[in-house]
Amino acid sequence: MIDLLVRRDINLKNEILSGLTVALALVPEAIAFAFVAGVDPSVGLWAAFFVGFITSVFGGRPGMISGATGAMAVVMTAFVVLYGIEYLFAAVILCGVIQILCGMLGVGKFVRLLPHPVMLGFVNGLAIVIGLAQFKQLQDNHTVKFNELTQSFDIVGSWLTGETLIFTSILIILTMAIIHYLPKLTKAVPGTLVAIIAVTLLVQFSPIDALTVNQSVEKMKAVASEKEEKVRLFEEEKQTLVFSEVNNLGHEIALREVTIDSNSENANQNRVAGHFAIPEIPFTLESFGIIVGLAATLAAIGLIESLMTLTLIDELTESKGSGKRESIAQGLANVVSGLFGSMGGCAMIGQSMINIRSGGRHRLSGITAAVFLLAFILIPPLWNCIGLIPVPALIGVMFIVVIATFEWTSLRLWNKIPRSDMAVIVAVSTITVLFDLAIAVAAGVAVSALVFAWKSSHKIEVDIVEQDNSKIYELRGELFFGAVTSFRDIFTPKDDPDVVYIEFKKTRVCDHSALEAINGVCAKYRALNKTVILTNLSTDCQNLMSRAAPIMDVTIGEQDNHTAV
């Protein structure tokens, strides 16, 4: 908040209009992610408000937008089905606590260790995920189908055809054209906001028929309630069947007409979202064991996506955010979200890009977006206005975000960077699309580390100088676990003279594997009654060996006590 009081370079108009634009884009995203997680839309909307407001006020990256995200929603789905929504709220609170601890411990600084190929893969993967999510909105007539592989029910739709597809495509293209070309004429108002308003007015005052946000929400709620009822019936009736009859029951229930009781539509939700309450679960070790796995997963996904988005926004705005402060703010936001009956969240790269493109650079834009979102939730007339926005307009906005987010320069890197780095970019992008961000980043870092270790293992080089009664091995390169094999192969104890010097002036001893390799080489010479003297060890290396003295038997010479001739 201090920024709002003392900064003098804030363009209030741009910040407020950008916040309004982001709020309009947040509504359908939050609702969609709530359905992905298997909870009521209000749970997603309140999460977008709490997370967005708290991180905008206290976070470490002004201009970055946070809210309910698909990356976190995906891992919630099965958990909600198995344990219920109260356990989800408890897991979100614990997730926040873990994130706060990570922030206090400075875990955010480790994002700087992520290789650039991992960053490129992360950005490209998220762009693809956002794009694919928009294509799913080009489906209609959603029905519930039984999946034999998972023995569960899925919601599937059919692609738009005919005039509906044509008009939808025209509205998407029109939205994208306004966003792209309006800034070339004027930057007085954000192109994204103008595009949404213009397309909404066009649909409302012309014969063009397009699906609106209100219609989309009602359809999603209806099919989600149908799925919930069919899942309940399936679980009840399959208990008396043998395994071979279960699939037939599933298909029969999928085709069955069911009656949805509007009073029990949210039967799995024990309280109203937005109201403070302690999650109604037993305070036992068993309950902790249930939520800790999901909490740790949510915390990892949230921190990784938030910190990597922070780094991306840093590059776009040529400014510096605080990873530590952002981690703590994300954690606080999730704790509050869980206590107020919402699903939590993290940074949103899509909405952050909308904000930056619309001129939002400071905390005011994020705070404004959250306040507008709260107004949409609490004031029915405003919600009705939001409900008139055509879904194709929002799809067009997100397609522009996809185009702006994807690192097109990475496509020109073929044969210009090491093949291993290109493989990391492709792998991280693919895993992000197929699984989730946390797995993708972990895989990318692991592959990059293995590639580095493999390359470094071949970089131990040696110059050998033989004298009358001694032999000097002058080493060059890092000595660590990946290089110990080549290090051992350098020496020829049987053929060497009685005194051998190993020169470490250009070598650094890095880990326990290196110490063990040195100890092993010295032991081979001792077995032949020969002496090995380690010379010109750096201070760090000497300290490392001093601590390992109880497990090592080596002779260390004085600094510069022997110079090769």
Residue 562 has pLDDT above 70, yes or no: no
- Asked if residues 326 and 107 have their Cβ atoms less than 8 Å apart, the reply is no
pLDDT for position 546: 81
Quick one: pLDDT band at residue 560, thresholds 50, 70, 90?
low
Rounded Cα–Cα distance for residues 529 and 389 (Å): 87
> Which residues have a Cβ under 8 Å from the Cβ of 235 and sit 6 or more positions away?
none
In 376-451, beta strands by DSSP E: none
Q: Render pLDDT for 441-495 as a digit per residue (tens, 0 to 9).
A: 888 888 888 887 777 666 688 999 988 789 999 998 888 888 888 889 899 999 9
CA 235 to CA 239: how far, in whole Å? 7
Residue 245 DSSP class: G
What the block records as the tokens of 339 is 């206590």
pLDDT value of residue 135: 86
- What SS3 state is found at 467? coil
Strand partners, 156: 143
In order of 116, 307, 355, 441, 442, the CA distances from 427 in angstroms are 13, 20, 29, 10, 11
Taking 60 as the threshold, does the pLDDT of residue 407 lie above it? yes
pLDDT tens per residue across span 11-32: 888 899 999 989 988 887 787 7
Q: Domain boundaries in the chain? A: 13-158+217-384, 461-556
pLDDT of amino acid 552: 83
Give the mean model confidence (pLDDT) for residues 509-533.
Answer: 90
pLDDT at 329: 95
348-403 tens-digit pLDDT: 888 898 888 888 888 999 999 999 999 988 998 888 888 888 989 988 888 888 88
Closest CA to 50 of 244, 336, 330: 336
Contact 299/102 with Cβ under 8 angstroms?
A: yes
pLDDT mean over 206-220: 86
Nearest to 410 by CA among 430, 398, 427, 426: 426
Which of the listed CATH numbers 3.30.750.24, 3.20.20.140, 1.10.287.70, 2.50.20.10 matches domain 461-556?
Answer: 3.30.750.24
Please say if the pLDDT value at position 265 is more than 60: no
Please name the helix (run of DSSP H) or strand (run of DSSP E) that holds residue 461, with its range, or none: strand 461-466
Q: What's the pLDDT at 2? A: 43
pLDDT band at 229 (very low <50, low <70, confident <90, very high): confident
565 pLDDT band, cuts 50/70/90, is very low
- As a whole number, the mean pLDDT across the chain is 85
So what's the pLDDT on residue 267? 44
Q: Do 78 and 376 contact (CB within 8 A), yes or no?
A: no
One-letter amino acid for residue 1 of the chain = M
Q: What's the DSSP call for residue 61?
A: S
End-to-end CA distance of the chain: 67
- Is the pLDDT score of 431 beyond 80? yes
* pLDDT value of residue 480: 84
- Residue recorded with tokens 């909404």: 200
Chain segment 79-133, per-residue pLDDT in tens:
887 788 899 999 999 999 999 999 998 887 777 677 888 888 888 887 888 788 8
Q: Does 242 score more than 90 pLDDT?
A: no
**How many CA atoms within 13 Å lie on the side-chain side of 228?**
26
Query: Is a pLDDT exceeding 50 seen at residue 340?
Result: yes
Q: What is the rounded average pLDDT of the residues 257-276?
A: 63
Which residues 6+ apart lie within 8 Å of 493 measured at CB? Answer: 521, 524, 525, 527, 528, 530
Classify residue 500 as exposed, middle or buried by CB count within 10 Å of its CB (0-12, 13-18, 19+): buried
Which of 7-16, 184-193, 245-254 reaches the highest mean pLDDT?
Answer: 245-254
Pairwise CA distance, residues 406 & 542, whole Å: 48
| Per-residue model confidence (pLDDT) at position 169 | 94
- For residue 339, the model assigns a pLDDT of 94
Give the number of other CB atoms < 10 A from CB of residue 512: 13
